[in-house]
Amino acid sequence: MSVLTLQHLSKKYGRIQALQDVSFEVPEGCVFGILGPNGSGKTTLLGIIMNVLQPSGGDFSFFNEPASAALRKKIGTLLETPNFYAYLSAVDNLKIAAAIKGVPESDIDRVLELVALTERKDSKFSTYSLGMKQRLAIASCLLGDPTVLVFDEPTNGLDPVGIAEIRNLIIQLYKQGKTIIMASHLLDEVEKVCTHVAILQRGKLLASGNVDEILVNEDIVEVASTNLDALAELLKDYPELVRMVPQSQFLELYFTTGMVSMESLNQFCFSKGIVLQHLRLRKKSLETKFFELTQNK
């Protein structure tokens, strides 16, 4: 079952089109990354599904049901910045969140322990560092052990140790079978944590699907011989070949990183009676892939 379905979601702020006709589905039990540069509409999208922003068009549903306050109680959400009452302690802030969600107050100690804030639980929120605020916000999301979590830039403001901790926490939650939807502008983060991804650029959806398919690290081998058609015919079943893209002067062979040896490829063609006149390996990094996705369209 799909946890979240977006259908043609659009949002305009005056003349600015913050989201344009975005549709995708978040399957159950995945870590779904929403990837895009700053200002690409990630937070707007999450704001709409959490009912703090009104869509200009389109529709969305959770578990195939129209969104409602009751459904939101069962989803732990951190949107943009941690929002708490500055004059209250961590515990008192979580009491409010627990009361709204209908979660017993006894759950508060557990979630504070999970984000390592137990020692500072009675300090006022206003005395917290940025990283602690962020961790408290994540603790608040975990109240009531929801099956769906929505994190907007969850590692924002954290130091490297904190970032690693939160990423591990997300992976643990995923292993427990929870669905996590997270927005991030960090490609590296999405690659490390997510199983699925949707890429946004200036409010438009560029791609969505499995991380392995969308953000795959690929080696591209260019090959050419006098007869390109014969070469293509020969190589179409070559082991580990992901796909082949014919160009005018050569063929592009896509392999998963590290899966191809130039030497054996050359030897293979030669043994089949085709002499290569061009053989070149191009490394394609994730960053170029990301740039490709976000720049070209």
Partner 1 sequence: MHLLKIEWLKVRSYRTFWILFGGFVLLFPLTFYFFIDKYNESVDNNAQGKMISSLLDNPSFFPKIWHSASWFGGLFFILVGMLLILLVTNEVQYRTHRQNIIDGLSREEFMLSKMLVGLVLAIAATLVVILSALVVGLIFSKDTSHLFEGMKYIGFFFLMSLQYLMVALVIAFLIKRTGLAIIIYFAFVFIIDNLLWVSLIRNNSKVGYFLPLESTDSLVPNPFIPRMMAQRNVEDSSLLICAAIYFVLMAVLVMRYFKKVDLKN
Q: Which residues bind partner 1 (CB under 8 A)?
A: 13, 47, 50-54, 68-70, 72-74, 77, 79, 81, 83-88, 92, 95-97, 99-102, 140
**Of residues 50 and 241, the one with the C-beta less far from partner 1:** 50
CB of 72 to partner 1, least distance (A): 4
CB of 97 to partner 1, least distance (A): 5
Among residues 173, 181, 128, 176, the alpha carbon closest in space to that of 152 is found at 181
Alpha helical stretches, state H, 187-260 = 187-193, 211-214, 228-235
CB of 94 to partner 1, least distance (A): 10
**Contact present, 160 and 7 (Cβ < 8 Å):** no
CB of 129 to partner 1, least distance (A): 17
Token pair 């052990």 in the structure block, residue: 145
**Contact present, 151 and 179 (Cβ < 8 Å):** no
For β-strands 179-184 and 2-13, DSSP reports them as unpaired
Amino acid at 85: Y
**Of residues 59 and 229, the one with the C-beta less far from partner 1:** 59
Among residues 217, 219, 218, 221, the alpha carbon closest in space to that of 231 is found at 221
CB of 52 to partner 1, least distance (A): 4
Rg value, the chain, Cα? 24
